Each structure stands twice: as structure tokens, then as C-alpha cells.
Amino acid sequence: MALKMVKGSIDRMFDKNLQDLVRGIRNHKEDEAKYISQCIDEIKQELKQDNIAVKANAVCKLTYLQMLGYDISWAAFNIIEVMSASKFTFKRIGYLAASQSFHEGTDVIMLTTNQIRKDLSSPSQYDTGVALTGLSCFVTPDLARDLANDIMTLMSHTKPYIRKKAVLIMYKVFLKYPESLRPAFPRLKEKLEDPDPGVQSAAVNVICELARRNPKNYLSLAPLFFKLMTSSTNNWVLIKIIKLFGALTPLEPRLGKKLIEPLTNLIHSTSAMSLLYECVNTVIAVLISLSSGMPNHSASIQLCVQKLRILIEDSDQNLKYLGLLAMSKILKTHPKSVQSHKDLILQCLDDKDESIRLRALDLLYGMVSKKNLMEIVKKLMTHVDKAEGTTYRDELLTKIIDICSQSNYQYITNFEWYISILVELTRLEGTRHGHLIAAQMLDVAIRVKAIRKFAVSQMSALLDSAHLLASSTQRNGICEVLYAAAWICGEFSEHLQEPHHTLEAMLRPRVTTLPGHIQAVYVQNVVKLYASILQQKEQAGEAEGAQAVTQLMVDRLPQFVQSADLEVQERASCILQLVKHIQKLQAKDVPVAEEVSALFAGELNPVAPKAQKKVPVPEGLDLDAWINEPLSDSESEDERPRAVFHEEEQRRPKHRPSEADEEELARRREARKQEQANNPFYIKSSPSPQKRYQDTPGVEHIPVVQIDLSVPLKVPGLPMSDQYVKLEEERRHRQKLEKDKRRKKRKEKEKKGKRRHSSLPTESDEDIAPAQQVDIVTEEMPENALPSDEDDKDPNDPYRALDIDLDKPLADSEKLPIQKHRNTETSKSPEKDVPMVEKKSKKPKKKEKKHKEKERDKEKRKEKEKKAEDLDFWLSTTPPPAPAPAPVPSTGELSVNTVTTPKDECEDAKTEAQGEEDDAEGQDQDKKSPKPKKKKHRKEKEERTKGKKKSKKQPPGSEEAAGEPVQNGAPEEEQLPPESSYSLLAENSYVKMTCDIRGSLQEDSQVTVAIVLENRSSSILKGMELSVLDSLNARMARPQGSSVHDGVPVPFQLPPGVSNEAQYVFTIQSIVMAQKLKGTLSFIAKNDEGATHEKLDFRLHFSCSSYLITTPCYSDAFAKLLESGDLSMSSVKVDGIRMSFQNLLAKICFHHHFSVVERVDSCASMYSRSIQGHHVCLLVKKGENSVSVDGKCSDSTLLSNLLEEMKATLAKC
């Protein structure tokens, strides 16, 4: 519409707007492309105009064309022009076009940095918003680095609309510029408790995304999220948090235990299906992480399975799908509980919905047993026939193979059946999974000895049948099975019925159309086959026959020699020469068969996939060290792999040169055996030592399921697997009958000499005997090596860069890059000051540096330990299972743990909270009798406040560790007296209010008041409103549109015993004086008897100290400041102080937001800065029983007031 008006207002010569363009395209259905190219020409003309409105219109049309698939990158510069228009209307068009078409490769994107920065700081929230939205789509590493600091500032914007966008975009910034994560994280964490639900939700969103990739770094946030989970009513937030917990529980099983109860409650209480589903999902994750160690959680599993069944039975297909999806997760750890719903799942297999069938397929994996495997697979095979889409069919195929091969073919009783299933699967056209089938064929043929004969007959039929070869190019996938077929026929050629026939099949000219690697296997196995035919013929004395075969080889092999594939060519020419040599010998009537077959003597044993990795590296062997000095870089690259390859060759008898005669061979073999025996690192095939065909088949040591019974199966050609099902039924039936008979005539049976291994009277699953003698040869592993999956992470994972330890305090070097030339007033200087200061301070402090680093290390370690302890504590205080698991009291109890002190320490807490009265005493007590629990608890609390302090300490540019300029003996080093910055505001029988006032970092002259409300009654407190009478000097920031007299709602309700924190922003005009504001908290207390309206009056005391922000300062900068002479001076002295100097400093730091600049003996310099940029410098000296504080400040009134406050604090010491 707006565009229409634009159009109407100016009579342009190119008057086509977006609507006209769309209409035009719709009217030119026949020659759309031509019409559009005309339009593009017009647009190009329009873009040449000076009028920004015309340009914007053109760009708007381009955005539409981009959607239709037209490349508009040529207009990137014009888009930037429109982006920088002053009018929101055009700006929005520009940003939209940019977000649709810009990417990291767009070269002009770097031109946007300043424009975006300008828009971000625009006074109009929509300009900022549109810039953030656009940026979120095309942010590049450069943009992220340059703008990170600006965006971080916006995270504390007054308007929630901007805040939430800024918070959300931080995720993109982290992805592109991982270094920004640590500096920005404290503030992000703060936003989790933002008063605006939208901002809170955005912060949860970002942290969930981060934590999903690297959960372990976010474990320490678990208590906070737990609190949010129990207090939030926003389903979106709840879902995200619950999903996050699902990712965290595998790392910390105790967390899971804590979660089960509230989650179960939610499952019972919520009406939102989405929430219910996510709860079930997370409970499942918890149960998985607890594994089977917790027997009493079977109730939870039952609950989950029960709820899921309801979902699956629902008529809503979506719920059905999700139910199945979640069910498959339970399946992994608790298959039993899922198996009872087999009927339901089999039913879903017939669903008309493919997505649901796929999910049901997943579940089938755990449903099979020996009894029903054939039946289920038969059902799947009919689905395979019916399936049209290749994706679903391929999925079916892999599932069939998965199901059958799971846990070492545990459920297969008849391998002939399995082979024929595999053979049937080869008839699928266009599948991508030919290699899977091939791998299965090989695996089964190698590991199940008894099946080899049957397998070979099937494979030779496959080789013979033309259908796989027919159009090998089109159905590229399936011809992979020929690889397996050829290998099996070659390797086990002694089982072939008609080897000559197979040999011819393998030498057909069509074979050369196959992919190279398959041809190579053909060539190799043709020789094996040839060797065995030769032997047969010679033994039978048919010299002519033998010569004929040789002639066939000589005739046909050249077709492979001509192959373009190197491997095929090499093998073929090698073998051709060999065969020619044999031909010569044959002409002289020399028997050659023995020697030729010696080439392939020895059996290949399956080697476990990880066996090679498990070979221990012998001591003193450094695989990375050079054996010889590398010649040059390029050469050394090739050298290593070659060596490896060489070694491999030696290990395999097959690859050896074949010219050596029998004796030589034997001698070498002996020698090598000797060598291997002496070499402790040779992968010996023990426990199943390498066998040869000549040796007696030493199968005793192989775990063999010995069942001596087989149904005589004489199935010519390719049998259908279906008949096996029938046969199997018969067989089982017969087995059963015989068993019954046997029970009656046991003696008779013995006479017959039939061995039956099972004689259990009931037919259970285990009772079904396999049809073949099955010996699954176990895969070889080096001794003492256990198969395990170490999942190696993908090194290219973009999220790996975000795997950053967030608990470590920030180092000096970690700060967001800051625009250097910025026209902000100097009072807002921390951004500017600190880097400067740092540069200067580098020189003189070389000595100190080491010391400092050491200390930082120490601190880091300390902090880490503390963090861990805190989490431990939080996790370990599981409330005793309440008799009646009502959700409210239990969660209340929990969140009390996290928010304020529990009741038994109430007194302690109160004194702390109230401030300082008995601190010295309490501290003494603490020192004398270290009660571990208490201390931990205090630490936790301290941590909390500290965490807050930290975030507060952080000026946008200069980051954390600098916030603790510990130079010589930090106050943190000694045990700190436990303190809380929260002081009591007011209390009555219903509610207790404590508050903390801190300066806001972002806005001048603003302070944030965090009020913790604790419900002490047994009623639910709701409808809470806070009304504060503004003074001339201090005003409360209220939501837009509300008047000065309106109360500001508290964004939560309080169930009994629960406490929560709300934050309010106040604007202060003059900060040189302390002030008090009167306020009232009104609320409705509701209990069983009814609801009453209650009020609680309070007075907010803004002390001068609360206007100070802990700001780090280096000693040289400090000295400069003092020298400048702009500061007025004042001092106080307090007598009768017994407290140690260390603690004294800590107290000043804590209560008055100072930081220690330097400390020498009993004298220390301290620094702080007000929210309006006043510098405050202190010199604290301790004498005998007295302390004197000299202060310098740019405002004398502020200084004197501050010193008064300090005096009051010190007087209590």
C-alpha cells in the first residue's frame, strides 16, 4: 500500500512497482523468462536514478525476482544504497533484500559495517530492529567481530523489543566469531532473568542452542534453568529448557534424579501436548542416563510408555508419529517395556503414512525374536515390493539388514533363508545400498562356515544371471553385490558345483562394464577359481581339460589388461603372465596345480574393524618421529603411506610373488612364522590361530553352536525366501514333535544316534534350534583389547569452535574489539580507557606479569573447583521424597535452595542480608568450626552474588579478570567473610523483600534494583504490583504508556516458600547524594480459605555507593589520575577496628564497589567509577586499631557522602 502511495505521488517514467511486476509475470505465462529479462533491464535503469524511492522500488522488485531464482548479486551495491536510506520504509526494503541475497562471499558486505553500526545505535527502535534482523541473516566473521560490542550494548537496551533481538543475534555472532562468547556470556546469563518474557525466552533460546552443541560447558547453569523451569509459565520457554535438560542429563546423572519428579508432575498436569511430549522425551533421556541402576524408576518408564501409547493410538497422525519417535528412544535402554506394545507397532507398519511407517520400522529393530524374525522380514519384503519411492524402499532394505544382523545374527536360525533374502534384495532396481547387501553376503559367508556351500551356489547363480550386469551403469548401486559374489565364489571355490561354468561367467566381456574395483576382484578371484579347477582336473588326470582352462584364461584375460582402471590392469597383466608361464609348464607335462593353489593357501579370518587401532604402540616407538631425515616437504608426504602399504602386503600371504617354488614357499612361511612368534606385536590370530586348509580344521576353540540337524534343502537355482518360512515352520513343528516323542522314548532316540542338544520341555525363544550348524567366527582383536566406540568428533564441525569453558574467569586478552574512534563523551570512558591503560602498563610490569599469571591460574583453579562444588551441592540436596508428591511444595523447596538460604540457616542468612551487624562474629565462627555443608552453601550464595557482581563489574570493553586487578595479594586470596549485597527492604508475615541496587552499565544515570521477594506464608501470592513514588531526582522506568501513579506488575507469582527476583530500572539525575524513595508492594494472598488483599510499604535507599561500578584500574593510570589535579580531596578516620586489613579491603570492595589498585603492607589504593563517570580514588591506611581513608573524587559532595557511608561500614568492623 505504501508503495502504491509512493507511486501515486511521483509520476515516474518507470512506474512498475512490485504488484505490477507480479501481475505482469502472471499475465505472461508463455514467455515469462522474456518478460522478466525485460523487467530486469528496467530495474537496471531505475537503479541508475538518483531518487532513492525509485531505487528502493527497484530493489523491492529484485527481492521478488530473487525468490523466483534470479541471481541479483550484481545489485549488491544498490541494495547497500537503499539500506542506508534515512527513511525506515526504504531501509527495511534494503535490509530485506540484503538478508535474502547477501552471504559471506558478497564482497561489498564489508561496506555495510558502519551503516549497520549507525542503524544499531539509531534512536528509532525499528531502525535498530530492522538492522538486527537483517544482520542475523548475513552476518560474516568480520561483521561479527566489528559489531559484537555494539550488539552486546544493545542487550541491555531499555526497550525489550531491541533487547530480545540483540540477545538472539548473539548466537549468530558467537558462531561467526567464537572469541566473543566468553566476554558476552555473563550478560547473556543475566538476560535469563530479564523481566520481559520475550527477552528471557530469547536468552533461553540462545543458551539452549549453545548448550546443545557443547552441553558440558553449560552444566553449571543447571540450577538457574531448574529455577526457570519451576517458575516459568511460558510453554515455549519450558519446552526449550526441558529440551536442554535432555541434553545435559547424560553428563550428570544426579541432575536426572532431581528432574524426574518435577517432570513427572508436569506430565500429569499439563494440557499442552507439545509440552507433555517434550517432558516425556526428557524423562526418557534421564532414564537412559540413569540406565538400569535405578530400579524404582520403572514407574516413570511405565508412565512414559503409557503416555506414548496414548499418543500412538491417537487419531492425530502427528501425535502418532511423535509417539513412535519417542518410543524408539526408550527401546534402546528398556526394550522390554516397548516389546509389550508390539501389536501397536506392527499395526503402524501398515499405516498409509510413510513417515509413520519409517518410525515403526525403527522400532521393529527391538521387536524381533528368533520366533518372529522370519515373519517380520517377510512382511517387510512385501513392503519392499510395494514401495514406489526409492527412499522408503532403501530404508526398508537397510532395516531388514539391520534387523537380521543385529547382535551378531542372534535371531537368525536359518542362514540359508537369510542368504536367499539377500539374493532377493539384489533384484531391487536403483537402490543405493548394494554395498550393504554385499557386505552382508561377505560377512555371512566368512563367518558362518556351514553356509558357505549354499552361499557359493547362490553366488555363482548371481554371477551367471545377467540381470545385475544388464545395465550396470544405471543401477550402479546394486552391482556392488557382484563384488561379494565374485569374491565368495573365488575364495570358497571348492564348494562350487560347476566351477568351469562360473569361470566362464566371470570372464564374459560384459564384465568389463563394471566399476573398476569390482573388476579387480573379478580378476583376482578368477585365478582362485582357475587354481581350483586346475587341481580338480589334474587329480582326475584330465591334462587336456586343464590345458583348455588355461587357454580360456589366456584368451580372456587380455580384456582386463586393457582396462583403464589401474588396479584391474595391474592385476590382470600380472596374472596373465603367470597363466602364460603355467601354460608353458603344462605343455611340458609338469604338474602345476599344487603350486598354483599354494598361492591362495590359508584362510582369511575376519578382523574386527577396530583391531588395528587397538594394537598397542610398543614402548619407545614414536610413530611420528622420522626414521630418516625428511628430504623435502613434498616428498615426505608420499613416503609414509607407502611404508604402511608395504607392511600390509607382507602380512598377507596372497600378495607375495608367485614364482617361488613350493619348497621356497614353505621355507619362507616357516621363517615368517618364526619371526611372528618372536614378534610380540604381530597381530596374531589368537584365540583362533591362523589356519590353513591343509591343517586340521581347529575349530574346537571357536565358540560354536553345535546343532546337528538340517533340513535337506535341495533348492535349485535361486530359491525364494518365502519357502523357507514354510519350511521353517515345518521344521519347528517337527522339532517339537520329535522332542515330544523323544521325551517318551528317550532310549530309542539314543539308539538312533541322533544328537539333540536342547531338551527343554517348553518351547521358548531359545528353544528354536538353528537349522544349520552355525559357527559364527568371532572377529579378531589384538589380545587384551576391548572393542569400544570412541566417537571421534568431526573436526570440521562449526560448533566445535564454541566448545569453550565458560566458567573460567576472563583473561585480559579476551575482550570484544572496540571501535576506536567513537564520538561518545568521555564520561563513558571505560571502553576507551582500558585498552589505553593496558598498553601503557605493559612495560613496567614485566616482573609482575608472571606473578600475576600464576595467581590467575590459581584463581581459575579455585573458581573451577568452586563451581564444581556448587553444582555438586545443588545436585546433592535432593529433597527427601515427599509423601504426597504435590508439585508446588517440592519445587518450592528446591528453588529456595537455589535462591535464598534454606530455613535452618535463616538466621544466618538474615544477618547477612540485613547487612553487617554480626559479620565479624559469624565469620569467626566460620573459621573456627568449618561446617562443610554450611560453608558450601554460603559459598554458593556468595557465588551467586559474586556472579552478579561480576556482570556488574563488567564495563562493555574491558573484561573480567581485569576486573580483579590482583597485583600483590588480592583480597580474594584469603577466605572472604561471607557477605551478601542484598539488604532487607521490608517484611511482614506474608512476604520478605530484599534488594540489591547496582549501577547500570549501559545507560548513564541508571541503576537497576533487583528485588527478591520471598513468600513466607502458606498462601499463593499473586497479582503483585510495585508502586514507587518518584522524586524529582529519581524516577522509575515504567512500561510505555503507564502513568507515574500506576503500579508496575511483578512478572511472576509466588507459591508458598518460593522466592524470585524482579528487576526494575531507575533513572537518577544527580548521583552526588544518597536518596530514599517510598514505595508499596500490593498483592493478593490466596489460600484455601480465600484471598485477601495485602500491602507492604518499603523505602528504597539509594546510597552513593550503589551508584558506583567496580571498575578495574592499573596503577600507572591511577597515578596519572591523581596527578591530573582535577580531583577534590577529603578524608575520614575510624578508630577501634580489629578486623584484618585484608578483610577490610574486601569489605570495601564488596559494599562500596571498589577495586584494589595496589596494596603495600597495610596501605592500599583503590578505585571506582560512578555511573555518571566520576572517578573515585581512595588511599586506605591501617594503623593500630584505626583506619584512615583518604579519598579523591571529581565531585566533592559525592566524595564526602561516600566517605560517610564508608565510615558507617567500617564502624561496624
Partner 1 sequence: MIKAILIFNNHGKPQLSKFYQPYSEDTQQQIIRETFHLVSKRDENVCNFLEGGLLIGGSDNKLIYRHYATLYFVFCVDSSESELGILDLIQVFVETLDKCFENVCELDLIFHVDKVHNILAEMVMGGMVLETNMNEIVTQIDAQNKLEKSETFIFQSPRQDR
CB of 14 to partner 1, least distance (A): 13
Q: Which three cell numbers stand for residue 1095?
A: 500491602
Of 386 and 755, nearer to partner 1 (C-beta) is: 386
Question: Is the preceding omega at residue 719 within 30 degrees of 0, hence cis?
Answer: no
Q: How far is CA 993 from CA 356, 440, 557, 1015, 1056, in A?
A: 54, 70, 93, 9, 15
Indicate whether 116 belongs to the interface with partner 1 (CB under 8 A).
Answer: no
Which residues have a Cβ under 8 Å from the Cβ of 985 and sit 6 or more positions away? 993, 994, 995, 1011, 1098, 1099, 1100
Of 95 and 483, nearer to partner 1 (C-beta) is: 95
Q: Choose which of 243, 378, 684, 935 interacts with partner 1 (CB under 8 A).
A: 243
| Nearest-angstrom CA–CA distance, 593 and 1090 | 103
Which range, of 184-192, 206-214, 262-270, 1149-1157, touches partner 1 by CB under 8 A?
A: 206-214
Give CA 391 to chain center in angstroms: 27
The H helix count followed by the E strand count for the chain is: 48, 15
Indicate whether 320 belongs to the interface with partner 1 (CB under 8 A).
Answer: yes
Which range, of 125-133, 282-290, 294-302, 784-792, touches partner 1 by CB under 8 A?
A: 125-133
Cα angle value 886/887/893 (rounded, 5°): 105
Q: Choose which of 224, 239, 380, 1157 interacts with partner 1 (CB under 8 A).
A: 239
Q: Choose which of 146, 179, 209, 831 interacts with partner 1 (CB under 8 A).
A: 209
Indicate whether 911 belongs to the interface with partner 1 (CB under 8 A).
Answer: no
Binding positions for partner 1, 138-157, rule CB under 8 A: 139
CB of 445 to partner 1, least distance (A): 31
Q: Which three cell numbers stand for residue 784?
A: 587384551
Of 211 and 546, nearer to partner 1 (C-beta) is: 211
Indicate whether 792 belongs to the interface with partner 1 (CB under 8 A).
Answer: no
Helix pair 317-333, 298-313: axis angle to 10 deg: 150
* DSSP per residue, 625-638: S-SS----HHHHHH
Q: Choose which of 245, 321, 1114, 1167 interacts with partner 1 (CB under 8 A).
A: 321
Of 88 and 682, nearer to partner 1 (C-beta) is: 88
DSSP state of 371: T
CB of 303 to partner 1, least distance (A): 19
Indicate whether 66 belongs to the interface with partner 1 (CB under 8 A).
Answer: yes
CB of 2 to partner 1, least distance (A): 5
> Strand 1034-1036 vs strand 1163-1170: parallel, antiparallel, or unpaired?
unpaired
CB of 213 to partner 1, least distance (A): 9
| Nearest-angstrom CA–CA distance, 871 and 248 | 13
CB of 274 to partner 1, least distance (A): 3
CB of 1050 to partner 1, least distance (A): 19
- 10 Å CB burial of residue 211 (0-12, 13-18, 19+) is buried
Of 198 and 835, nearer to partner 1 (C-beta) is: 198
Which range, of 167-175, 449-457, 967-975, 1057-1065, touches partner 1 by CB under 8 A?
A: 167-175
Indicate whether 126 belongs to the interface with partner 1 (CB under 8 A).
Answer: yes
| Nearest-angstrom CA–CA distance, 129 and 135 | 10
Which range, of 199-207, 215-223, 578-586, 612-620, touches partner 1 by CB under 8 A?
A: 199-207
CB of 793 to partner 1, least distance (A): 15
Residue burial 515-526, b: 16+ Cβ < 10 Å; e: rest: beebbbbbbbbb
Closest CA to 809 of 972, 637, 918, 618: 972
Which range, of 165-173, 526-534, 669-677, 1173-1181, touches partner 1 by CB under 8 A?
A: 165-173
Of 207 and 896, nearer to partner 1 (C-beta) is: 207
Indicate whether 205 belongs to the interface with partner 1 (CB under 8 A).
Answer: yes
Q: Choose which of 171, 487, 990, 1052 interacts with partner 1 (CB under 8 A).
A: 171
| Nearest-angstrom CA–CA distance, 1156 and 1118 | 11
- 10 Å CB burial of residue 797 (0-12, 13-18, 19+) is exposed
Strand, coil or helix: 315? coil
Indicate whether 797 belongs to the interface with partner 1 (CB under 8 A).
Answer: no
Strand, coil or helix: 322? helix
Binding positions for partner 1, 5-24, rule CB under 8 A: 5-6, 9-10, 18-19, 22-23
Indicate whether 199 belongs to the interface with partner 1 (CB under 8 A).
Answer: no
CB of 318 to partner 1, least distance (A): 5
Closest CA to 162 of 124, 193, 136, 190: 124
Strand, coil or helix: 1085? strand
Binding positions for partner 1, 607-626, rule CB under 8 A: none
Q: Choose which of 47, 147, 169, 596 interacts with partner 1 (CB under 8 A).
A: 169
HEC-encoded secondary structure of 787-814: CCCCCCCCCCCHHHHHCCCCCCCCCCCC
CB atoms within 10 A of CB 1089: 7
Q: Choose which of 108, 111, 198, 309 interacts with partner 1 (CB under 8 A).
A: 198
Of 23 and 692, nearer to partner 1 (C-beta) is: 23
DSSP state of 772: S
Indicate whether 476 belongs to the interface with partner 1 (CB under 8 A).
Answer: no
- Read off φ and ψ for residue 20, nearest 5 degrees: -65, -40
Of 169 and 1117, nearer to partner 1 (C-beta) is: 169
CB atoms within 10 A of CB 1129: 13
Of 174 and 1114, nearer to partner 1 (C-beta) is: 174
Indicate whether 648 belongs to the interface with partner 1 (CB under 8 A).
Answer: no
267 in Cβ contact with 278 (< 8 Å): no
| Nearest-angstrom CA–CA distance, 1061 and 1051 | 9
Q: Choose which of 108, 111, 137, 1179 interacts with partner 1 (CB under 8 A).
A: 137
Binding positions for partner 1, 71-110, rule CB under 8 A: 71, 87-89, 92-93, 96, 100, 103-104
Indicate whether 40 belongs to the interface with partner 1 (CB under 8 A).
Answer: no
Binding positions for partner 1, 335-354, rule CB under 8 A: 352-354
CB of 147 to partner 1, least distance (A): 14
CB of 242 to partner 1, least distance (A): 9
DSSP state of 1019: S
Q: Choose which of 40, 43, 46, 63 interacts with partner 1 (CB under 8 A).
A: 63
Indicate whether 206 belongs to the interface with partner 1 (CB under 8 A).
Answer: yes
CB atoms within 10 A of CB 942: 21
Of 13 and 625, nearer to partner 1 (C-beta) is: 13
CB of 103 to partner 1, least distance (A): 4
Q: Which three cell numbers stand for residue 944?
A: 551467586
Q: Within 372-471, where are the H helices?
A: 373-386, 390-409, 415-425, 434-447, 452-464, 467-470
Indicate whether 794 belongs to the interface with partner 1 (CB under 8 A).
Answer: no
Indicate whether 364 belongs to the interface with partner 1 (CB under 8 A).
Answer: no
Binding positions for partner 1, 244-273, rule CB under 8 A: 273
Indicate whether 279 belongs to the interface with partner 1 (CB under 8 A).
Answer: no
CB of 678 to partner 1, least distance (A): 48
Which range, of 187-195, 313-321, 824-832, 882-890, touches partner 1 by CB under 8 A?
A: 313-321
Indicate whether 690 belongs to the interface with partner 1 (CB under 8 A).
Answer: no
CB of 87 to partner 1, least distance (A): 5
Indicate whether 227 belongs to the interface with partner 1 (CB under 8 A).
Answer: no
- Consecutive H or E run containing 1115: helix 1115-1124
